[in-house]
């Protein structure tokens, strides 16, 4: 039985919930509970009389109370737990609070605090959210999806917990990531909570700490691998296709040995994308579009050094290469402008052990033959920045302080406005800080970070820091794909998203050093990205044939604004 149904009054045009449960069942339902905001009529007709204190508050006053309680918490983990508890009680109020205070709360509901929460998830678990699939129940996936009380499900965020942020294998404790991403789809993208589902593919863990922890709540076995893992994933995808054939699937925080394979295997079989590869690449490209506008240069004028060639590094490299080719360069010429560095140093065609996605960014053998090297036979980061005359330096390594003063100063000598993007999460793992860049480049450097950093003062001026957060891309991507009813997610949709984001950075913001819009504007960013994605889907013959005005109207209509609907009693059996 459904607890409620969204209805439209044909006489007044009023949207309302027809509620099919009564009394404490209403208060126990997170999407129905209004707490002190129930009207007197609702209290009488829904069996709430005497269950609430007499005062009636609106949602604005409830926000004041909730924000006061939130700020009273002494630690970020305490704030995280408070917000999760609020969501468990009253989802509408939770999302209203999050939407109106996103800049303040983003570091709590997502990186970096969500990483700390995942490390402790089995110890702080309050209420289960989403679906947990394991080898013990995967064969009953259709029945499990029938248990999900979301008949209009449109979006699934799924992880197997193997590469949670920069923290590694956290098993099913990594569920905090899909839960956090779903919350951001709602708060930033405007999807309704009932449309979204976080999913954990609990295929075990190789984290010995978890396996030995009696409090660990996951499937207590070593990770599936090889054919067993592939069969598990296939059963999952087929189950999604049967139960939710029109849903969008977002792959999140998979190990790189699986992430690229899953993206390529399923991108044409099910509506899906990988946020760590494509979302990261698109966000970084948006920041680079703005940087090129500030510099007054083209991508083909630059030399890019990418450090850390995992999912994020490869995703960023692919987007840079696409931008270079859009300017008319051949793939070979584009490749020569991107210098990829990983553990062995500069990646070249003869570097042993290159993985297939990395090979596309390997420089020709012998490229460094005439270079002056600090250590003969080893081409390290310092060597690459100096000899390749790098002008853009991007790090996704998780190695704090990797971009030292010497590297940053060398970059500054190569360009009047060098670009530094230290994108590792959490903050403690950032390759450098904004202060490091400003000092080493006399304030000339343009920079973005993966974790939140505040503004800095340098030579009497304030320089703002952009957080290169995937939040700028994935909510709008999901919204645009869904409203356009796209048949697949394409690389060109991500390029369109990057362009839409960069176009929103105003001249005044660029003067302050911002490479991305202000975080407070992220809901409008999602709308603009969604429109750009829907237009690209239409033009590619993959989406609805709507003109630009209709696309914007549909996108705006689809964005849910957290507010309380009026309630009217319905039949207890759920039938009208």
**What residues contact 528, with CB distance under 8 A and at least 6 apart?**
476, 500, 501, 503, 504
Say whether 441 sits in a helix, a strand or coil: coil
- H or E, element range at 501: helix 491-502
User: Could you give the residue ranges of the DSSP H alpha helices within 516-562?
Assistant: 522-539, 548-558
Phi, psi at 47, each rounded to 5°? 70, 35
| Of residues 359, 353, 271, 352, the one with CA closest to residue 314 | 359
Active site residues: 110, 181
Q: Is the dihedral of CA 117, 516, 399, 340 positive or negative?
A: positive
- H or E, element range at 282: helix 280-295
**What residues contact 261, with CB distance under 8 A and at least 6 apart?**
none
**Buried b / exposed e across 382-414, counting CB within 10 Å, b at 16+?**
ebbbbbbebbbbbbbbbeeebbeeebbebbbeb
**Burial grade of 557 (CB within 10 A; 0-12, 13-18, 19 or more):** exposed
**What residues contact 428, with CB distance under 8 A and at least 6 apart?**
112, 400
* Residue 159 β-bridge partners: 200
- Number of Cβ within a 10 Å radius of residue 55: 7
Residue 498: C-alpha distances to residues 10, 334, 355, 525, 568 (Å): 42, 19, 27, 11, 44
In 358-412 the beta strands, taken as DSSP E runs, fall at 392-395
Strands 345-346 and 338-342: antiparallel
Strands 248-251 and 304-307: unpaired
Phi, psi at 264, each rounded to 5°? -70, -35
Show the tokens assigned to 262: 């899953």
- H or E, element range at 552: helix 548-558
Q: How far apart are CA 276 and CA 259, in angstroms?
A: 9
Residue 277: C-alpha distances to residues 188, 222, 362 (Å): 20, 26, 18
Q: Which residue has the tokens 């998979």?
A: 254
> In which region does residue 439 sit, left (phi positive, over 0), alpha (psi from -120 to 50) or beta (all else)?
alpha
Q: Are 169 and 163 in contact (CB under 8 A)?
A: yes
Q: How many CA atoms lie within 13 A of 197 on its CB side?
A: 26
């Amino acid at each position: 039985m459904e607890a409620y149904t969204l209805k439209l009054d044909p006489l007044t045009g009023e949207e309302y919930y027809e509620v099919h449960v009564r009394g404490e069942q209403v208060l126990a339902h997170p999407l129905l509970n209004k707490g002190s905001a129930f009207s007197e009529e609702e209290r009488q007709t829904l069996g709430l009389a005497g269950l609430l204190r007499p005062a009636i508050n609106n949602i604005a006053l409830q926000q004041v109370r909730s924000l006061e309680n939130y700020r009273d918490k002494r630690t970020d983990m305490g704030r995280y737990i408070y917000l999760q508890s609020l969501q468990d009680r009253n989802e509408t109020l939770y999302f209203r609070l999050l939407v109106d205070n996103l800049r303040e709360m983003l570091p709590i509901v997502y990186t970096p605090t969500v990483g700390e929460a995942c490390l402790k998830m089995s110890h702080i678990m309050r209420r289960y959210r989403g679906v947990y699939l394991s080898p013990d129940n995967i064969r009953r996936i259709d029945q499990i999806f029938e248990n999900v009380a979301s008949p209009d499900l449109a979006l699934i965020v799924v992880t197997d917990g193997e590469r949670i942020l920069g923290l590694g294998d956290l098993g099913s404790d990594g569920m905090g990531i899909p839960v956090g991403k779903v919350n951001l789809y709602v708060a930033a993208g405007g999807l309704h909570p009932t449309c979204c589902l976080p999913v954990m593919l609990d295929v075990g863990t190789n984290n010995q700490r978890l396996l030995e922890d009696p409090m660990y709540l996951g499937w207590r076995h070593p990770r599936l691998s090889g054919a067993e893992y592939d069969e598990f994933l296939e059963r999952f995808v087929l189950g999604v296709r049967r139960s939710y054939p029109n849903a969008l699937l977002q792959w999140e925080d998979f190990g790189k040995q699986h992430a690229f394979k899953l993206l390529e295997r399923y991108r044409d079989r099910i509506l899906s994308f990988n946020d760590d590869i494509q979302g990261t690449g698109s966000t970084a490209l948006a920041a680079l579009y703005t940087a090129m506008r500030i510099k007054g240069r083209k991508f083909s004028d630059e030399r890019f050094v990418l450090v850390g060639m995992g999912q994020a590094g490869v995703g960023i490299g692919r987007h840079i290469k696409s931008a270079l080719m859009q300017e008319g360069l051949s793939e070979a010429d584009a490749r020569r402008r991107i210098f990829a560095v990983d553990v062995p140093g500069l990646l070249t065609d003869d570097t042993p052990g290159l993985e297939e996605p990395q090979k596309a960014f390997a420089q020709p053998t012998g490229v460094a033959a005439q270079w002056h090297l600090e250590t003969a036979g080893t081409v390290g980061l310092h060597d690459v920045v100096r000899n390749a005359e790098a002008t853009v330096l991007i790090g996704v390594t998780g190695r704090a302080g990797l971009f030292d003063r010497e590297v940053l100063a060398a970059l500054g000598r190569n360009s009047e406005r060098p670009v530094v993007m230290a994108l590792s999460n959490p903050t403690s793992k950032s390759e450098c800080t904004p202060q490091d860049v400003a000092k080493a480049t006399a304030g000339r450097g343009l920079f973005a970070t993966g974790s939140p950093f505040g503004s800095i003062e340098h030579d009497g001026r304030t320089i703002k820091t952009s957080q290169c957060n995937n939040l700028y891309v994935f909510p709008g991507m999901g919204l645009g794909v869904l409203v356009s009813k796209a048949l697949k997610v394409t690389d060109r949709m991500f390029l369109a998203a990057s362009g839409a984001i960069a176009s929103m950075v105003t001249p005044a913001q660029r003067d302050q050093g911002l490479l991305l819009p202000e975080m407070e504007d992220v809901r409008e960013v999602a709308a603009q990205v969604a429109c750009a994605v829907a237009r690209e889907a239409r033009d590619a013959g993959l989406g609805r044939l709507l003109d630009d005005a209709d696309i914007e109207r549909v996108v705006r209509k689809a964005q849910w604004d957290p507010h309380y609907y009026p309630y009217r009693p319905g039949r207890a059996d759920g039938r009208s």
